[in-house]
Structure 1
Amino acid sequence: MLQFDQITKTFGANTAVDAASFVVDKPMMIGIIGRSGAGKSTLLRMLNRLTDASSGAITFDGVNVTGLRGAAKRSWQSQCAMIFQQFNLVPRMDVVSNVLHGTLNRRSTLSTMFNLYPDEDIHRAIDILERLGIAQHAPKRAEALSGGQQQRVAIARALMQDPRIILADEPIASLDPMNAQVVMQSLRDIHEQDGRMVIANLHTLDTARRYCDRVIGMRDGRIVFDGLPELLTTAAAREIYGADASFSEATTSTQIETTAPAKEHLAGIAAL
């Protein structure tokens, strides 16, 4: 279904991704972990064609993604939606209009200029917001929402594209632990309910273990781990992060104590 074959990206004398190869044969939720600068973001940006590979090939269902140009490239980018750490919303625009921006790739220049949307698209945008638990915020400006809510708006915008793959580049890095869990559960639900492939760059090991079917670890641009979440031991994590015996993943944990008040608080945030 998706294959990376010796994909490499260099920036001058620096190699950001070094001969990365792996195959995904069915839709699943994949977590990519590694320290900052390991090449995680560059890997996703090459898949989405926001950046070109220096060598190697990426194929999806037999199509050479790295070779696409013009309209074919834009069509691929609509099938491979990207969610960013900083949300990339229009702050002063209302939430539903931000979600409708997910349809820009298939709208005319005139309708884009005058913000003209078919009723069908407006209803679908609201349905997606409802699914993510934030439909009540549809008329508000995006800047009025919390970070967790804004990230769910960004997820809704991605879903408006009706993509085959959703890429999430550090989607919870700027969120508190409770909002992080809400966002990750939203991505997990999208994978399970829609059958979409989700690939997320993550920093925290407990998040990768809890939400992902498969974990890929990168170090200095190379893939040094590829396996099931339960195989992501502390020893494996030390290898991925280049850490010594003093390494403790507890310092990066997003786990929340499962007391009754905490569960109620988490449920309350999801409803906001």
Structure 2
Amino acid sequence: MLKITKLTRKFGPNTAVDAVSFTVEKPMMIGIIGRSGAGKSTLLRMVNRLTDATEGKIEFEGRDVTALKGDAKRAWQSDCAMIFQQFNLVPRMDVVSNVLHGTLNRRSTLATMFNLYPQADICRAIEILDRLGIAEHAPKRAEALSGGQQQRVAIARALMQDPRIVLADEPIASLDPMNAQLVMDDLRRIHEEDGRTVIANLHTLDTARRYCDRVIGMLHGRIVFDGTPEQLTTGAARDIYGADAGFSETSTSTSIETLERAGVRAMRTAEAAI
């Protein structure tokens, strides 16, 4: 389906993504992990064509995505929806209108100016919100929702595009553990039930192991690991994060249970020091 060949992005003398190559042959859920600055976000932005590649090629079902321009490029961005860490919603606009923004690429300028939507699109937006468990919030302003609810609105907006691929750039980085799990559950269901490829940038090893079929590790703009969750050992994680033998997976965990255990240990250490 998706073939990326020696994809490179340079910003002046700095190389953010360095000759990255991988192939996705069937719909799956892929996690891209690595520390901040590893090139994960730049890679996804190039796949979506929000950022142009300096070198290399992106192909989808034999079509050269890197060569697309104008309407063809916008059509690709509908097929390859993007979900952002900071949600990118319109805060003062109601939830259902934010979701309907997922149809902007296929609407006329006049309809967009007057905020006119077909009844079928409105019904579909509410159906998607219901699927994500937040339909009751449809008439509320987006700014009135919690962070987890806002991220699910952003997911609903992406699904309004009916994409072949969903790209999620750090979708749970700003969420608490409970909401992080809810959002990741939604992304996994979208893959399994809809047959869509989901590629998510993640900071945490436990999340990648739990939800992903395949894990890609990046360091300094290059792929240093590409395998199954079972192959993502602590040793492999040290290589991905460029860490020494003192590396602890607890520091990257979003698991509620792991965080609670870490909190208990910290409390006991503090008590022992008193």
Counterpart position of 1:111 = 111
- Cα distance in structure 2, aligned partners of 1:253 and 1:84: 20
Unaligned residue ranges in structure 2 (runs of 5+): 259-274
Equivalent positions of 1:90-239 (< 5 A) are: 90-239=90-239
SS in 2 for 1:6: strand
Aligned to 1:42: 42
Q: Which has the larger radius of gyration?
A: 2
1:71 counterpart = 2:71: yes
Q: Secondary structure at the match of 1:52?
A: coil
User: How many residues are matched?
Assistant: 258
Give how far 1:251 is off.
1.5
- CA shift for structure 1 position 47: 0.3
How far residue 256 of structure 1 moved from its aligned partner, in angstroms, is 2.1
Aligned-residue RMSD, C-alpha? 0.8
Q: How many angstroms apart in 1 are the aligned matches of 2:76 and 2:211?
A: 26
User: How much has 1:180 moved relative to structure 2?
Assistant: 0.1
Deviations 1:185-240 (A, max 9, x none): 00000000000000000000000000000000000000000000110010000000
**Alpha-carbon distance in structure 2 between the residues aligned to 1:252 and 1:222:** 21
Partner of 1:7 in structure 2?
7
Distance 1:11 1:256 in 2: 38
Q: TM-score w.r.t. structure 2 length?
A: 0.93
Q: In the TM superposition, what are the counterparts of 1:9-24 in structure 2 within 5 Å?
A: 9-24=9-24
Q: What SS class does the counterpart of residue 122 from structure 1 fall into?
A: helix
> Equivalent residue of 2:15, what SS?
strand
Q: Does the residue aligned with 2:126 lie in a helix, a strand or coil?
A: helix
- TM-score of the superposition, structure 1-length normalised? 0.94
Indicate the SS of the match to 1:23: strand
Amino acid at match of 2:25: D
Deviations 1:166-192 (A, max 9, x none): 000000000000000000000000000
How far apart, CA to CA, are the structure 2 residues paired with 1:31 and 1:113?
38
2:252 aligned residue? 252
Structure 1 runs of 4+ aligned residues shifted over 2 Å read none
Contiguous gaps of at least 5 residues in structure 1:
259-272
Kindly state the Cα deviation for residue 257 of structure 1 after the two structures are TM-superposed.
2.8
Determine helix, strand or coil for the equivalent of 2:187. helix
Distance 2:163 2:202 in 1: 21
1:114, 1:56 → 2: CA distance?
A: 41
Aligned-pair CA distance for 1:44: 0.3
Distance in 2 of aligned mates of 1:126 and 1:206: 32
Task: Please list the CA deviations of residues 100-131 of structure 1 after superposition, one character each: whole Å capped at 9, or x if unmatched.
Answer: 00000111111111111100000000000000
Q: Report the residue type matching 1:193 in the other structure.
A: E
Q: Tell whether 2:59 aligns with 1:59.
A: yes
- SS for the counterpart of 2:257 is coil
- Partner of 1:215, secondary structure, is strand
